Amino acid sequence: MQVKICGIKDKDILSAAIKAGADFVGLVFFPKSPRHVSIPQAKDLAEFARQSSGEVPTKMVALVVNASNEDLETIIKEVKPDYLQLHGSETVERVQEIFKLFQTPLIKAIGVSNSDDAAFADHYTEAEIILFDAKADPKLTPLPGGNGIPFDWTALKGQKETRNFMLSGGLTAENVSEAIHLTGASIVDVSSGVETSPGVKDKALIEAFIRAVKRA
């Protein structure tokens, strides 16, 4: 099992996540999010992570939402992420275009409310990893993810037979074991589930979450 801690904004929390065993760390480039970081912040954090990681480096993920080519080019040049996480309404064609232009490994987030949503992931063949998240209601939140809302995990029935995938959406140390066993996810992603308030990560919650994942 692998773990991604998303929405990190400072070195203290980043260091704690790496020491606790995080396999991926997510940096959010979306001004509407309480977890948003600037390019200089992200560059500093990414360099720190590369210096702090052990023999198996923690992978840096740049989360973007319907980003322009110009913004993507800047992020890749300055931050040098291992993955781009496309967490907006990017079409199949747009994902193909991004991969062709930048040749950076992609994570494509798919909002799920039913099995049909999950099945649509088959179209995103350029994405190295599919991330299944709860489908956000734009009437209730401007954020496409990080809302602390789980979805019906049975909607992912059969997915583990066709791909390795990342699971997100309302995960906590208390429910992640059930989520793993029910869905067969090979990677789990958490943000609000290790926070004391939106955008404020807690070391103890990160450590507890990673322990729960490794036990599962």
9 to 29, 196, 212: CA distances (angstroms): 11, 14, 23
18 to 12, 56, 58, 60, 125: CA distances (angstroms): 10, 11, 7, 11, 30
Return the H-helix or E-strand segment holding 162: none
202 is a catalytic site residue: no
140 DSSP assignment? T
133 is a catalytic site residue: yes
Q: Which of 116, 133, 152, 202 is catalytic?
A: 133
Q: Which of 6, 116, 122, 137 is catalytic?
A: 6
Q: Is the dihedral angle over the CA atoms 172, 178, 183, 185 positive or is it negative?
A: positive
* Cβ 212 vs Cβ 176: under 8 Å: yes
Question: Catalytic positions, please?
Answer: 6, 133
